[in-house]
Structure 1
Amino acid sequence: MRLRYAGMCRLCGQVIAAGVEAIYERGTKTVRCLDCVPITTAPEPGTAGGSARREYERRRDNREQRIRTDHPKLGGLILALSDAPQSTKAWESGAVGEELMALRLADLPDTFRVLHDRRIPGTRANIDHIAVGPSGVWVIDAKRYVGKRPTLQVEGGLFRPRVESLRIGGRDGSKLVHGVQSQVERVAAALAEEPPHITGVLCFLEADWPLIGGSFAVEDVQVLWPRLLVKRMVEAPPRVLDIDSVHEHIARSFPSAA
């Protein structure tokens, strides 16, 4: 189409003057100059838990090397009789959680596109999973809290402002909620001024969920378990978006952390 207003090619950054022929991508409301060839193959989905597992292995190997260097004769015995610090084991647990989440997301119908372990440019953080489908964009943070119950704590009421917060096994989980909110904001910013509907999710694996109910939302972040998440993703009302275009744009904006 001929552009009514000047724009910038989302691929090469070239300024496209008003009246010039260009490709308008309705899904992301962006333009692409005719010189840029669109991607003909699907973006690399990434490896679930890849960056977390690498960090665990790095810490494990550094600990082993340090102990063997400090104790040449007894290093092997010390390693055999002692456990890695909790800060190291947490990375392994996180990697397993992301891997299990990826297996569950594989149950989604082929109308969905899923990306795993995506790097947030300019930071050391990553997004565990991003799914794009008929029901919109889903930003998913997988958490493996074995045997602990996520609950919604409500304070205030009639005479004080109502305040909701996440508790996990009795501990404050507000930091996790704020982390997902930040990820949703970054994905929205990457998808231009009017992004499609985006849902932030904290998905707890192997947690102590009750037999009936248990899921809830806190500060617009959904808190639930994998099977229910997939069900809601499939059954949620359809949104108007170009799935492939949005998927491609997100994949470019958040590269694989591998």
Structure 2
Amino acid sequence: MSGHGTIADLPSLVEQMAIPRHLAVIMDGNGRWAKERGLSRTQGHRQGVVAVREIVKNSIELGIDYLTLFSFSSENWSRPESEVRDLMGLLKLFIRNDLAKLNKKNVKVVVIGCRESLTSDIADLLVEAEEKTKDNTGLNLVIAFNYGARQELTQAVKQLAGRVAKGELSVDEIDEAAVSAALYSNSIPDPDVILRTSGEQRLSNFLLWQAAYSEFVFVDCYWPDFDRVRLEEALVEYSGRDRRYGGVVTQNRAAGGA
């Protein structure tokens, strides 16, 4: 919150806070949170699920339209088999326990990522979550699962090349809009803010194309500790940014929102 006041000022600053249309989050630090407390990594991931419920609730209350959560990357399969198994179990538990609540809150669930290599039980759960909530008009909860941005861009290139080969598309027709339409996220606006917890400051293969004009906010706490106050602090920081998109007109400070 450098340059925007102190923690004591937060209530008054929140009143001036710009609410992004799309907030994307790299939920980092579950394992380190657990290690510092002498707990297992699985216990850290379980506490991370509690934080997921919290940010969904807060996003609804704040009026955020799109919340994208980086839940499982395509590189996470290289983790120990027991940890991957526990993560899959937590995903199943979250969908079974929370889907009805999300549906009742008018939340629409969208899943982005590669599904070709998923086991049928996981793939079916993702489809169920999308199908049950597809007509909802509230918060769009985007789950990036088995997701990697380079993988996404590679499959987009293959798709476009295939269309050219079939004569459906000419090379000259391949523009930024065509690439965006070939991505997993084709129905989702680019994120206004990409937030990462745990103090790490990198994208880790997350939304590389979509992040072209996103603001980055790095929060120095582990994901299980990320609560409403830390979310509001992050959005207050975002509110003070000048978003020029390569031009000279500011957005957040001048227009008061995203």
| Bigger Rg over Cα | 1
Q: TM-score, normalised by structure 1?
A: 0.28
**Which structure's residues are more often helix, by fraction?**
2
Higher strand share: 1
Higher relative contact order (CA 8 A, sep 6+): 2
